[in-house]
Amino acid sequence: MIAREVGRIKALKQRVTQHLLVEPYRVEADEDRGGSNTPFASALAEEYSFAQIAGGEYRLKGGRMARLVALYKTPKDLSAFDRYYVSTHIPLAKTLPGLRKYEISDGGVHSPGGVPGYHLVATLHFASVADIQAALASPEGQATAADLGNFADGGVELLLFETREV
């Protein structure tokens, strides 16, 4: 049993050090470990600065990430923009080195003050701003940036920033 737990801790440590743990880690309630009230769960929380959340799940405390947010202004032809964005630009952008997650707005972009003048918002997740900058400087990043002129005739604003959970 101890060897199995050491193996699980080593595997988790590898995932944490590779920054791949973006979903909560679930401590299963099985007979060998007794769920989240065990030395395994406590060691996990202490060793890796995890915060326990509901149901025996653990999430990295203060995990830092970075985002690239692309604010696409309203184009001249909405349907041509949407077709091109989905069929060509998304697959191209998904080749960016270090990209962990890619999200886009679904439906209209709204503002409490009225129409914001944006058609689509894309949020790309990376480990750090340095990783975003390296991705943009890469051949894939250069190709993705050059592609903007093919469909984003309304313009685009790019924001880069670090995040932390509070």
Q: What is the pLDDT along the chain (166 residues), one digit of tens a residue?
A: 666 765 666 666 566 554 444 444 444 444 444 455 555 555 544 444 445 444 554 445 556 799 999 999 999 999 999 999 999 999 999 999 999 999 999 988 999 988 889 999 999 999 999 999 999 999 999 999 999 999 999 999 999 999 988 8
Which CATH number fits the domain that encloses residue 69? 3.30.70.100
143 and 72 in a single domain? The answer is: yes
Residues 52 and 75 in one domain: no
Tell me the pairing of strands 64-73 and 118-126. Answer: antiparallel
Check whether residue 29 and residue 53 sit in a common domain: yes
- Extract the tokens encoding 107: 């439906």
CA neighbor of 8 nearest in space, from 33, 18, 31: 33
Cα angle value 145/146/150 (rounded, 5°): 110
pTM of the model: 0.64
Taking the C-alpha atoms of residue 123 and residue 5, their distance in angstroms, rounded to an integer, is 37
Among 60, 81, 106, the domain-final residue is 60
Residue-range definition of the domain harbouring residue 154: 64-164
Q: Which residue has the tokens 């769920």?
A: 35
Residues 126, 68 share a domain? yes
Domain-ending residue, one of 36, 60, 84: 60
Handedness of CA 39, 43, 44, 50 (dihedral sign): positive
d(CA 102, CA 17): 22
